[in-house]
Amino acid sequence: MTSKKILAASLALFITVGQGLLPVSANEMTESDNRSSFVGNNSILSDAETSDAETTDEEDDGEHPLGDVNGDDSINVTDIALLSSHLRGIKPLEKHSYIRADLNFDGALNATDIAKLAAHINGIKAIVDPKTLPMPEVIHSETTNFSKSTILVNKKTEKITWQPVAGMPNYTLEFKGKYNSSCYVSSLSIPIAYDQFDDGVLTLRVIPSRDVQSAEGKVVRDHADGYEIKITILPEKIEGNITAEAKEDHTKLSWKAAEFASSYNVYLINDNNKEQLLDNVRDTSYLFDNSLVDKKARIKIVPVNSIGTAEAASEVSFKIRPPAPVASEQYRTINLKNATFDTAVLYDCEANEIIAGLDHKEKMYPASMTKLMTILVAAENIKDMKAKYKFTKHDIYSMLEEDASMAGFQPGDEATMEDLMYATILPSGADGAIGLANYIAGTEKEYVKLMNEKADDLGLINTHFANVTGLHDDDHYSCSQDIAVITKACMENKRCRDVLCAYAYTTSPTKSHLNGIYLKSGFRSKFSGYFIDADQDGYEDGKLVCGKTGFTNEAMYTLSTVAEYNGKRYISVVTKCDSTNASTWDTLALLENYLPGAVGTD
């Protein structure tokens, strides 16, 4: 029990007196450290003072080692306890115990001596008797001359090493990087602290030293010339994928931080693989301006630090999608008493805003409004509008079997791409749509892939195509808002706009139609004589420019209409109307009740 109490008291006192020493390790103590006394006068006792001591021990025989305070020929926590008891004034040490406890030979007992005892017991640094040390003529109290070098390492480099300095067994290491720190070693290498690199650099100063005896018989530290090693490392590559999040007018790129990178170079790569430096950023994200490219961007991101760039870059390609329509501040839910449609939308093309809507994001079947996307993809892929396609029996008869609307081509007829564009829209000819698909993509199936890719490019929220004609398929669907966006895209393409706005067109002569086929706009016929009377005064306030109708048994009557009103372009879409006439009246009612400033009758 007694030994346990001594040990506890020793440790408690060591912690108490050593609190001021914690920032410096015990093995960094020098003879100049902590010279102040803790309790009373702790100078070595004179002979007279010794005669008044409480103990009557015999003279020391000189065989007990330095640090063996109690003279039992071992150095342990009991010695710390005795020295602590002395410093606290509990029990003074005897003369010879006092001499063996003065480990730095400064003539006083203090916290430095406790620290040296603790370091010895913990195996950090053995107690040295200065009488055993060399006494050089010149003692260098510090290292003033450093040979400098720079090395490049990588994460596979485990250690940094240095050459030994003759007669210098110990080395103080000073690190300057993310944090400044130091340590004391007797080895010639140390593991590289990769978490301490700052901008790719970690500076290491190696200060050789040895313990020597001063003229006064004290242990002091002697230094030699040292090394200053600049350890450098290149940044690692970015791990994982770069994400691209589409925003209204930009795309936000994000990635994981690369090790040892202080910043990142962002490059735009063009179709010829030429790189354009866009920016250098410190954050792990970048806002890419969508106006820099039309459809698709290819970005390379290279981690950088003061040493150089990563050996491997990371790339990402993403589509530039137009911003999705948003509800205007004056948005209203459509509520028309006599309307027959299931879903509807009124879209301001210029502002990219939804003015009014009814379930306009809900799934519906588009029927022949599909052909808007069919001609849009064709217009973007046809290089020669005079190129010809020759119809096969399968082209024509397969569509007749589906009871699809036809422009009138027959097997063996040849038609130009321009003919097929008009044939697809004006009479809503399935034969025209099939001709375009087969010429451009080889098959309808492959062409549908292009249509779905275009839907993705436009950022459509609820659209998937299964064919080019709009014939019913459960997996062929869209929504009113998406059809409005497709219609807008067609109006921004001159080839599509010319076709949609035409009243009539005659194809080039064919084998079965020597004078060509006369094609008349179904939309124009539908709205012949109609106009927009927004203020209900009987006069025209806006006009119906063009549009596309559609019908299947499942979709019922659908209609997308482009209107011009007060110098702006608007698009209305109505779906699943009761009849073709109902789709006409529903469209007029929608425009005349919900266009800005319209009076309406509902």
Q: Are residues 358 and 497 in the same domain?
A: yes
Amino acid at position 45, single letter: L
What per-residue confidence (pLDDT) applies to 390? 98
Residue type at 430? A
219 close to 211: Cβ distance less than 8 angstroms: yes
253-281: average pLDDT: 96
Q: What CATH number does the domain containing 199 carry?
A: 2.60.40
Q: Answer yes or no: pTM beyond 0.85.
A: no
Based on the fold, state whether residues 183 and 258 are members of the same structural domain.
Answer: no
pLDDT value at 108 more than 80: yes
Evaluate if residue 47 carries a pLDDT over 90.
no
Of 31-45, 143-157, 493-507, 511-525, the one with minimum mean pLDDT is 31-45
pLDDT at 44: 42
Long-range contacts of the stretch 169-175 (C-beta < 8 A, 24+): 169/210, 170/208, 170/209, 170/210, 170/211, 171/206, 171/207, 171/208, 171/209, 172/28, 172/206, 172/207, 172/209, 173/204, 173/205, 173/206, 173/207, 174/204, 174/205, 174/207, 175/202, 175/203, 175/204, 175/205
* 224: number of Cβ within 10 Å: 16
pLDDT beyond 70 at 150: yes
- The 10s digit of each residue's pLDDT in 255-267 is 999 999 999 999 9
Domain of 248: which CATH number?
2.60.40.10
State yes or no: pLDDT of 182 exceeds 70. Answer: yes
pLDDT (average), residues 238-255: 91
- Residue 446 phi, psi (nearest 5): -70, -35
Q: How far apart are CA 460 and CA 453, in angstroms?
A: 10
Pair (469, 406) in one structural domain: yes
The confidence band for 46, taking pLDDT boundaries of 50, 70 and 90, is very low
Pair (34, 170) in one structural domain: no
CB 460 within 8 A of CB 486: yes
At residue 576, the 3 state secondary structure works out as strand
| DSSP states along 45-105 | PPHHHHHTSS--PPPP-S-SPTT-TTSSS--SHHHHHHHHHHHTTSSPPPHHHHHHH-TT-
Q: In the chain, how many domains are there?
A: 4
599, part of any domain: no
User: Do residues 455 and 588 share a domain?
Assistant: yes
Q: Which residues of 338-355 are buried (b: 16+ CB within 10 A; e: fewer)?
A: ebbbbbbbbbbbeebbbb
Report helix, strand or coil for 302. strand
141 occurs within a structural domain: no
Does 3 score more than 60 pLDDT? no
The last residue of one of the domains, among 200, 233, 266, is: 233
- In-domain check, residue 602: no
Predicted confidence (pLDDT) at residue 493 exceeds the cutoff of 60: yes
Choose between 588 and 324: higher pLDDT.
588
DSSP state of 248: S
**Are 59 and 40 within one domain?**
yes
Domain, as residue range, for 393: 326-594
Residue 193 resides in a domain: yes
Q: What is the pLDDT of residue 283?
A: 96
Distance, in Å, from the CA atom of 8 to the CA atom of 192, rounded to the nearest integer, reads 38
Does residue 433 sit in the same domain as residue 370?
yes
Q: Which residue in this structure is represented by tokens 């202080």? A: 262
Residue 460 domain-assigned (yes or no): yes
Cα–Cα distance, 188 to 238 (Å, whole number): 34
Note whether 463 and 579 are same-domain residues.
Answer: yes
Given CA atoms 423, 425, 426, 431 in this order, what sign does their dihedral have? positive
Q: Say how far residue 366 (Cα) sits from the centre of its chain.
A: 38
CB 490 within 8 A of CB 500: yes
Between CA 42 and CA 368 the distance in angstroms is 105
Name the domain boundary from 198, 233, 268.
233
Note whether 178 and 92 are same-domain residues.
Answer: no
Which range among 1-15, 236-250, 561-575 has the greatest average pLDDT?
561-575
Q: Choose one of 319, 348, 380: the last residue of a domain.
A: 319
Q: Is the pLDDT at 17 greater than 50, yes or no?
A: no
User: Mean pLDDT across the stretch 112-121?
Assistant: 87
Average model confidence (pLDDT) across the chain = 88
Per the domain annotation, does 578 fall within a domain?
Answer: yes
Whether residue 134 lies inside any domain: the answer is no
Residue 133 domain flag: no
**Rounded to an integer, what distance in angstroms lies between the CA atom of residue 563 and that of residue 520?**
20
> Is residue 490 located within the same domain as residue 588?
yes
Torsion of the alpha carbons at 565, 571, 572 and 573, rounded to the nearest 10: 170
If asked whether residues 490 and 437 sit together in one domain, one would say yes
Return the CATH number at 590: 3.40.710.10
Q: Reduced to 3 states, what is the DSSP secondary structure of residue 406?
A: coil
Q: Do 299 and 282 have their domain in common?
A: yes
